[in-house]
Structure 1
Amino acid sequence: MACLHLFWYLKGSQDYCLTYHAFNNHSIVAYRNAYWGNCTDIRRLVSGYLISFKRFLVFRKARKKPTVSLPTSKVEYKSLCDVTSKLLWLWEWFKECSLSDMDSPTPVNEDDQGFTNMANGNININGSHMKHVDIQLHFVKESIKNLDIELKYTLISDMLAEFLTKSACRSSLCKALNALGFLGIQVRGDVRIGRSTD
């Protein structure tokens, strides 16, 4: 079945290309998403993130957890910790390239309002059920405090990383691909003509 999905993906994306344009802003934006119990056969959690620079995709990751888990907080924080460390690495690389006029803090968009409140410190989580995420929690909170990242609640309809963790309808997938700089192309003879994927 996975092979069939791969062929459907390849057939459906053969007319897309990744485009980069010159923009004046130097903004980095991240989108992070997780979905618990997505697959009805194995009920494993899937998490993923996208990082864009000047509106175009530079990093992406989607991963299915290797085992079934009960608490989602651990995986949520692990995923947010991965995004934060990747963003800090990217910031250091941009400093080495003398691109220091970047916008700070970097927004990390999250569609789970409860998790956003917990990470921003608006909910007390001193219970023993959260000890396993203590180190990742402090790393993320320190990055928020140092204004390295800003965790923002984003509506599901505006979440670009949604298609990494869930099945997406064509319109939401096209919207995300357009926002990330993927351009649909039409082939006419030997000439390729750019077209919008809306």
Structure 2
Amino acid sequence: MIPPPGLHISIPGQVCKLEKFLYGLKQASRQWFAKLSSFLIKHNYKKCKGDHSLFVKWYSSISVAIVLVYVDDIILSGNNLSEINNLKSLLDAAFKIKDLGDLKFFLGFEIARNTAGISMNQRKYALEILSDCGMLGCKPSSTPMIHGSHLYQDDSAPYSDVDAYRRLVGRLIYLTNTRPYLTFSVHQLAQFMAIPTNLHYKAAIRILRYIKSSLAMGLFFPNNSIIQLKAYSDSDWASCPDTRRSISGYCIYLGNSLISWKSKKQKTVSRSSCEAEYRAMALTTCEITWLTYLLEDLQFSFSKVTLLYCDNQSSIHIASNPFFHERTKHIELDCHTVREQYAGHIKLLPISTNLQFADALTKALGPKDYNTIHSKLGLIDICAPTCEGY
């Protein structure tokens, strides 16, 4: 490793030889989590079944303390302030923690809150990406991809610096944690990590130019949302030029807050648009099931069924039809997945294509559509001068 400042080096270019891992053995992270978990469980915290890094302690039906763990970074939340202060004292006695106060910055996420709700963005992280790529002075783009385009394995010259391309795509993937509208574009880039071409790198540069136009854009969680899950499922049939596979996309809301989204290429080729839409519905249903388990661990009671919107009437009819026929024999497994939840947990509803929120996760839209999709996905730019509530 590079010699630390203050260490005298007699020969220029010398480095320090690492005799032992700085943080112990290779299993240090696993052993650390096991120790922290046992400590929290010892103090009556319960590990959630839906997410093992989430610990909850209930004192009554309305009093709760919540601990979210990411390696050695911990977020404490809840409505029992005395228990939170008590836990901080116990953690400090056992592990010597550093209290950073109210949550404002965490793993690249910038958190701001006011009386209307909580905003979360990655403005600083986006600026770092642009700076490292020398794009701080670039001209902003109105869209992350050309309208209606799809990347493919073209025969243009391979990009010279493959490692730089992979690093850039990896950083863009992390940026999609607060920018769901970039998910489809970054998903397209991630398919060509092995042999990227100059065309793929130009597509990545266009995404950076689009990020420049909305640096502080991020998620907003209003404090007046109702406790009901609603989801939007969509697919783009046979849209991959290389494999002719379809793209599935979904976005799931808790009340008015967007909490989960995904853009993924389907594993098999769908023979019809109806089949592609149904596979997308199965993917959405699995995510809804996991979120239901997670919210049940937090003792949220659902008085209303989950609403699942789909813009394909044939897929909705298949889900409600108890009989299989020729159009469904290739998707029997997905049929069972959706139908089991359709019995009482999920209600399928049709929706017009122009009101489909998941469109941005399955295809490249035009400038007007991207401007509209921001409000649909519950995104705000807290640095915009006309942003309401800030």
The one-letter amino acid paired with 1:159 is Q
Tell me what 1:149 maps to: 346
The one-letter amino acid paired with 1:134 is E
Task: State percent identity of aligned pairs.
Answer: 25
How far does residue 85 in structure 1 lie from its aligned partner after superposition?
1.6
- Give, in whole Å, the separation in 2 of the partners of 1:138 and 1:66: 18
Query: Does 1:183 find its partner at 2:383?
Result: no
Q: 1:129 to 1:27 in 2, by over 3 A?
A: closer
In structure 1, the gaps of 5 or more residues are: 188-192
Tell me what 2:318 maps to: 118
The one-letter amino acid paired with 1:54 is G
How far does residue 73 in structure 1 lie from its aligned partner after superposition?
4.5
How far does residue 72 in structure 1 lie from its aligned partner after superposition?
4.2
Aligned-residue CA RMSD (Å)? 2.5
Aligned residues: 187
Contact 1:25/1:54 (<8 A) preserved: yes
Query: Does 1:83 find its partner at 2:280?
Result: no
Q: Which moved more, 1:74-83 or 1:105-114?
A: 74-83
- Give, in whole Å, the separation in 2 of the partners of 1:66 and 1:143: 22
How far does residue 66 in structure 1 lie from its aligned partner after superposition?
6.0
Contact 1:184/1:194 (<8 A) preserved: no
- Give, in whole Å, the separation in 1 of the partners of 2:206 and 2:316: 33
Per the normalisation by structure 1, the TM-score is 0.80
Could you say which structure has the larger radius of gyration? 2
- Give, in whole Å, the separation in 2 of the partners of 1:184 and 1:71: 39
Structure with the greater relative contact order (CA < 8 A, sep ≥ 6): 1 or 2? 1
| Secondary structure at 1:195 match in 2 | coil
Query: Does 1:104 find its partner at 2:300?
Result: no
Q: Which moved more, 1:134-143 or 1:124-133?
A: 124-133
The one-letter amino acid paired with 2:232 is Y
Query: Does 1:136 find its partner at 2:328?
Result: no
Tell me what 2:185 maps to: none
Taking the TM superposition and a 5 Å limit, the aligned residue runs for 1:43-82 are 43-65=244-266, 69-82=270-283
In structure 2, the gaps of 5 or more residues are: 1-198
- Give, in whole Å, the separation in 2 of the partners of 1:17 and 1:97: 25
Contact 2:274/2:314 (<8 A) preserved: no
